[in-house]
Amino acid sequence: MNKPNINVTPLIDVLLVLLIIFMVVSPLKPSAFEAKIPQEPKITDNARANEYALVVELEPDSSLRLNREKDLGTADDSEKLVEKLKRIFKEREENGVYAENFAANNNSAAGQMIEKTVFIKAPRSADYGSVAKVIDAVKVSGANPISLQIDRLQ
């Protein structure tokens, strides 16, 4: 009687084809995470605050403030904040308020050169989910870049 033998040649062929496919596809997978590393601050005597700075503050009671303006919703319901930021960015685009770092670079489109930097400030007691919701709301408004403000933490 003949014992049955398993022919593994087709199995090896399939495995080699899959290996080649994965080797070709894996470099195409995006794996970059862009992060801007802060530079050492240049201390000058005539340093002044940016007059166009926008700071979204998450209060301990989950309410939101933009600079000193209150009643812009909560972390769970941030529609008022999003609309306010969109209005500000639209006004800046109409008035030609450009970011300082884009003023010298004329290669960018005009919409990308508008000052849309937003800082988010939250107390240490705020939970991660609330801060993430605020970041998402600021992203929806069109802000870029978005930074977390960590000085004078409470």
Percent of the chain as helix, strand, coil, to the nearest 5? 40, 15, 50
Neighbours of 64 (CB within 10 A): 25
Query: For residue 142, what is the domain's CATH number?
Result: 3.30.420.270
Domain enclosing residue 108, as ranges: 54-148
Whether 144 is covered by a domain: the verdict is yes
- Alpha-carbon Rg for the chain, nearest whole angstrom, is 25
pTM: 0.64
User: Does residue 12 fall inside a structural domain?
Assistant: no
- Minimal CA–CA distance to 57: which of 115, 131, 114? 131
**For residue 49, is it within any domain?**
no
pLDDT digits over 121-135, tens only? 988 888 889 999 999
Assess if residue 138 is contained within a domain. yes
For residue 27, pLDDT over 50 is answered with yes
Percent of the chain predicted with pLDDT > 70? 77
Please, which residues have CB within 8 angstroms of residue 116's CB and are 6 or more apart in sequence? 89, 92, 99, 142, 143, 144
Asked if residue 86 belongs to a domain, the reply is yes
Confidence label for 154 from pLDDT (cuts 50, 70 and 90): very low
Task: Give me the number of domains the chain comprises.
Answer: 1
Examine residue 65 and state whether it is found in any structural domain, yes or no.
yes
